[in-house]
């Protein structure tokens, strides 16, 4: 909420100098504009897309999701409670599923708060934002976080090491973000965009264009498949005290 307030507070100054800002951006090297996906910086979506949804919001969702996923099973092993937890009269799959669902709920709540904060904040400043597009962008970003949270869940289920699961999932997020950012500058990287979670979340620019059903499906399916892998991994693990 504080980040949203800060960004919205800065927007009137950006809008007042819209002409100068557009001229300034036009002087940017094409490579730099492509790198940060900068278009019309003076419009509401054009301002928030690079400032909020290109890096800051994904960082928040990925940080929450990977920390949650890494702690879901590997955290229990670190605390020495995994053998007790999985000795309860409920299946291991149910335990992992409940933790994954809890992660999705938390990410959904953060997405809702972010979207509503932006929507309420726009009432105090002159910024054009569609509530539908806001929810589309926040949902896509939340599901992006869920992809990397499920990776942390899988690695934690396989290794039993929270720090390792967190490192692998965060490393995967950084690597895919770099590939996504550099794709407009490198031809062979651009060919990989259809397989990149950041492209699924941001490629269709939901803050401008609304719901991207294809991207949402890919993000959801990837999360489900990786989570199923975590369930299979935990089912075959042996836990000792």
Q: What's the pLDDT band for 73 if we cut at 50, 70, 90?
A: confident
- Tell me the pLDDT band of 241, cut-offs 50, 70 and 90: very low
pLDDT for res 188:
86
Helices (H), the chain: 2-16, 18-26, 30-35, 44-48, 56-72, 74-79, 82-85, 92-121, 131-159, 162-182, 187-190, 197-202, 206-209, 213-235
pLDDT at residue 228 is higher than 90: yes
pLDDT at 240 over 60: no
Task: Report the predicted TM-score, pTM, of the whole model to 2 decimal places.
Answer: 0.88
List pLDDT tens digits, range 169-210.
Answer: 999 999 999 999 888 888 888 899 999 999 999 989 999 999
């Amino acid at each position: 909420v504080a980040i949203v307030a800060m960004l919205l507070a800065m927007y009137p100054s950006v809008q007042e100098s819209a002409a100068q800002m557009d001229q300034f951006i036009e002087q940017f090297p094409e490579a730099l504009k492509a790198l940060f996906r900068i278009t019309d910086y003076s419009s509401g979506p054009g301002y928030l897309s690079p400032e909020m949804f290109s890096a800051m919001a994904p960082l928040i969702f990925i940080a929450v999701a990977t920390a949650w996923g890494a702690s879901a099973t590997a955290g229990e092993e670190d605390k020495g409670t995994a053998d007790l937890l999985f000795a309860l009269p409920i299946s291991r799959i149910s335990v992992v599923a409940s933790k994954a669902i809890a992660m999705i709920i938390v990410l959904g709540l953060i997405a809702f708060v972010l979207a509503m904060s932006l929507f309420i904040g726009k009432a105090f400043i002159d910024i054009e934002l569609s509530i539908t597009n806001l929810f589309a962008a926040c949902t896509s970003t939340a599901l992006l976080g869920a992809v990397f949270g499920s990776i942390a869940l899988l690695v934690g289920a396989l290794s039993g090491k929270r720090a390792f699961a967190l490192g692998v999932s965060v490393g995967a997020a950084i690597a895919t973000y770099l590939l996504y950012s550099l794709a407009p500058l490198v031809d062979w990287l651009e060919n990989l965009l259809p397989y990149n979670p950041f492209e699924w979340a941001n490629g269709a620019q939901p803050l401008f264009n609304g719901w991207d059903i294809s991207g949402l499906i890919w993000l959801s399916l990837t999360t489900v498949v990786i989570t199923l892998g975590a369930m299979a991994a935990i089912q075959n693990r042996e836990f000792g005290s």
